[in-house]
A and B are shown apart, each in its own frame.
Chain A
């Protein structure tokens, strides 16, 4: 599944297993410090279906749907 999966709830931890696309989104995710094997905490979503909020290590990130959909994850 990807980070947008409906079964993921705030507070849950997931592990990145890969990236689906080969474009600028993945590049930016990498630059933000996300890599395969990294653990991410789902924090919630902004209003009106806005960006997804995640935390990894000491960083907080807001990702739009199409950006979050790039990261394949599994429940940790």
Chain B
């Protein structure tokens, strides 16, 4: 009651940040709101933007700050740019936008002033913030701020993204922004006006730079000199492409190599915890539940956190150094042959971390067709939730052999997922008509040294939010699977018999005819069903159904692997064989077992048909292919 009254009493001020991609908008947003990472808002509306309260150390927070997707103009050419336009004119969350902070890259003033001019015509209360001050300062470039204020007719402030210099002043100015008249809709400029405006912008930028700085252009050139030199190598038609392959391979192999010692460590901790809890009440139901239901499930999942962290970190490094835009350029031609564009590369790469943000990231692809195809194939990219399953299967296949083989197998899976993605894109592109020209035109930001602390923090928060999201699902399913596999005959001594007579066993028997052609038995079938809640659940579900308590092995994973290699079906045949494990990996490679992906897909594509087609097509194809592979392998004598 009281809070709503206070909210009514105090007028909320809503300030939007608008600017070109890479202008430093999000850095400013993070400093203003104090949020440590890019927050993605999921309102019911189709418009999406980040909304945050002013950080508490910046004064009383009657101010809401909104981050919008980067845009070059108010005449949208991609879904992202539409979001920016809509979020300032018809915002579903904020009554009205009281003012706009236009973020201008200090090294690109003339280009970015265009947007300032467009916004000025609409009549929104404006304020300009010039970023990249640290780069300018290093080269001794000083901008004539009073001149800019006078010429643009609005407050102009500088901001240093590294040290947050100027933040307090920005807040103070922003609080003064208010409407004097209703803002109008942007009017498109004709060719002649556009040319004149560009000329004006250049003149203004030139004046602002030359008033206080000698040889301003030469100094600016020095800022980009390194980038030009590096690009001669990194964008070289042959060398650049070779390096691209090296960099991508390094990313994916480091996910495996770097993570192993940490994984062993975490695995060790959980085994200790498991033994300790089991020892507290031997033979009791609650100790069994805690040790073999809860701890086992979490152990099976948490072990993969290092790999997920390294994957997020790697993508973060590529993104923040400025290499990702280059990678997109290098790959544009091959991608366009598949009906996509180089712009699809970034979403597809993020798809290796998680399909949900990746699907949202396709919005900066201007062409609808390119975007649809990219959305269609993203779920084929092996997201981090599949890693646990791959890792377990690979560990099973190459147990005790050299890690090189395991690394190669993992690489093969990743390459396989890319190959399947390419194949699917090639096929789908034949069925989607092209309505508008496909735009690529991409700005290549200058190379910057990443701030490792920021990168680590980003990777950590993303990993953590991933764990937090998966955690409750894992816990719930762990409980369900444990209860289902323990009751009703929990007193039965024989573990195998107990499981077979359990609820899970009964359900498993029903679905066994379906999964049997895949070379697996009902217990794996139960795992496959629970994997539809979240793929990671598969491993923990196996861990529970293959009851790994009895072993006195030194680690959880060791114990699970031993149980797996010993497990037999009703006919006494081994369940986990080379062929069935390969089949499982292929199934996880293709099948769409992720409810969040389907949900996002429905929302982003705006059509049930698209999402359902995808769901059915992927799972049916995966199933048929796995059956063919497993039966084929068995036919030629592979166990």
Identify which of B107, B236, B440, B446 contacts A64 (C-beta below 8 A).
B440
Looking at chain B's contact residues, the main secondary structure is helix
- B440 and A62 contacting across the interface, CB-CB below 8 Å: yes
Interface residues of A in 30-46 (CB under 8 A from B): 30-33, 35-36, 43-46
Interface size counted on chain B using CB atoms at 8 A = 49
Identify which of B114, B220, B333 contacts A47 (C-beta below 8 A).
B333
Identify which of B73, B108, B240, B441 contacts A67 (C-beta below 8 A).
B441
Identify which of B108, B237, B342 contacts A44 (C-beta below 8 A).
B237
Identify which of B73, B110, B236, B241 contacts A31 (C-beta below 8 A).
B73
B120 contacts chain A at the CB level, 8 A cutoff: no
Give 8 pairs: A residue, B residue, CB < 8 Å, sorted on A: A44-B232, A46-B332, A47-B238, A50-B330, A58-B221, A60-B445, A62-B329, A64-B440
Interface residues of B in 269-310 (CB under 8 A from A): none
The list of the 7 closest CB pairs from A to B, nearest first, reads A33-B111, A50-B333, A60-B444, A48-B333, A35-B198, A31-B72, A62-B329
Q: Whole-angstrom distance between the alpha carbons of A49 and B336 in the complex? A: 11
Q: Whole-angstrom distance between the alpha carbons of A38 and B223 in the complex? A: 20
B436 contacts chain A at the CB level, 8 A cutoff: yes
Name the distance in Å between B113's Cβ and chain A's nearest Cβ. Answer: 9
Residues of B within 8 A of A32 (CB): 72, 111, 441, 443
- A24 and B439 contacting across the interface, CB-CB below 8 Å: yes
- B441 and A62 contacting across the interface, CB-CB below 8 Å: yes
Closest to A28 in B: B441
- B441 and A49 contacting across the interface, CB-CB below 8 Å: no
Residues of B within 8 A of A63 (CB): 440-441
- A62 and B439 contacting across the interface, CB-CB below 8 Å: no
B604 contacts chain A at the CB level, 8 A cutoff: no
Q: Whole-angstrom distance between the alpha carbons of A24 and B72 in the complex? A: 13
B224 contacts chain A at the CB level, 8 A cutoff: yes
Looking at chain A's contact residues, the main secondary structure is mixed
Residues of A within 8 A of B331 (CB): 50
- A58 and B231 contacting across the interface, CB-CB below 8 Å: no
Residues of A within 8 A of B75 (CB): 27, 31
Q: Whole-angstrom distance between the alpha carbons of A10 and B139 in the complex? A: 27
Instruction: Enumerate chain B interface residues (CB-CB to A < 8 A).
Output: 72-73, 75, 77, 107-108, 110-111, 114, 191, 194-195, 198-199, 217, 220-221, 223-224, 227-228, 231-232, 235-238, 240-241, 325, 329-334, 336, 342, 436-446
- A33 and B114 contacting across the interface, CB-CB below 8 Å: yes
Q: Whole-angstrom distance between the alpha carbons of A44 and B233 in the complex? A: 11
- B228 and A55 contacting across the interface, CB-CB below 8 Å: yes
Contact with B along A53-76 (1 / 0, CB 8 A): 101011111111011000000000
A8 contacts chain B at the CB level, 8 A cutoff: no
- B437 and A24 contacting across the interface, CB-CB below 8 Å: yes
Contact with B along A3-37 (1 / 0, CB 8 A): 00000000000000001001111111111110110
- A64 and B235 contacting across the interface, CB-CB below 8 Å: no
Residues of B within 8 A of A44 (CB): 232, 235-237
Name the distance in Å between A45's Cβ and chain B's nearest Cβ. Answer: 6
Given contacts A24-B437, A32-B441, contact A62 B332 (CB under 8 A): yes
Q: Whole-angstrom distance between the alpha carbons of A43 and B453 in the complex? A: 34
Closest to A56 in B: B111
Identify which of B108, B236, B440 contacts A58 (C-beta below 8 A).
B108
- B333 and A49 contacting across the interface, CB-CB below 8 Å: yes
